[in-house]
Structure 1
């Protein structure tokens, strides 16, 4: 699962959620719960391993490429951004690192 050319929407969104949850270098319990609602445990484990190998530029490039390839509509992109914000605030915090990731992803996705 090392190329975004093979990702489904579910896998892409799982990767985005893992990327976002690690904005502050720590996945909270609440964030892990939301991720588990998006993707199954096996996919989550694979995506976590992939995410750990990727640098920030690789992650953003994979997300951009998959968004373009999978043909998200404007409304679907807005919904995805809203889900990202919900994940970022799930632990009751929205710190500077999380705000930065949110702003960057908003530009990448929308």
Structure 2
């Protein structure tokens, strides 16, 4: 996978969807939070793509796109804060979500 033709908004939507689905349940609160970051069409397009991908493909797309968009340490920190807000949006930050946050911290800060 050499390049991903995503905007920064599409990348953020994909990462937040990846995080929201870590417990295999995309809750309404999580969906609404993602929609507060991107427009409905972007959300739907990225959601369709997300549903077609397996975890490996998703991780490769995320890492490739982060490099393409030259995300800085500060950009990554902001993104991780957005992910934390997403996980807390339903008032249930369970162990699966906690583990996903740790995984994403390692993945995004590599």
Q: Is the 8 A contact 1:4 1:63 kept in 2?
A: no
**1:86-101 alignment runs, 5 A limit:** 86-101=85-100
Q: Is the 8 A contact 2:3 2:68 kept in 1?
A: no
What is the CA–CA distance in structure 1 between the aligned matches of 2:20 and 2:3, rounded to whole Å? 19
Q: Is the 8 A contact 2:87 2:93 kept in 1?
A: yes
Between 1:95-104 and 1:56-65, the stretch displaced more is: 95-104
What is the CA–CA distance in structure 2 between the aligned matches of 1:95 and 1:35, rounded to whole Å? 19
Question: Which stretches of structure 1, 4 residues or longer, exceed 2 Å deviation after superposition?
Answer: none
**1:50-65 alignment runs, 5 A limit:** 50-65=49-64
- CA shift, 1:4, in A, is 5.8
What is the CA–CA distance in structure 1 between the aligned matches of 2:102 and 2:56, rounded to whole Å? 15
CA RMSD of aligned residues (A): 1.4
What is the CA–CA distance in structure 1 between the aligned matches of 2:38 and 2:6, rounded to whole Å? 12
What is the CA–CA distance in structure 1 between the aligned matches of 2:14 and 2:97, rounded to whole Å? 16
Partner of 1:67: 66
Give TM-score scaled by structure 1 length. 0.91
- CA shift, 1:24, in A, is 1.1
List gaps (5 residues or longer) in structure 2: none
Give TM-score scaled by structure 2 length. 0.91
Secondary structure class of the residue paired with 1:5 = coil
**1:37-56 alignment runs, 5 A limit:** 37-56=36-55
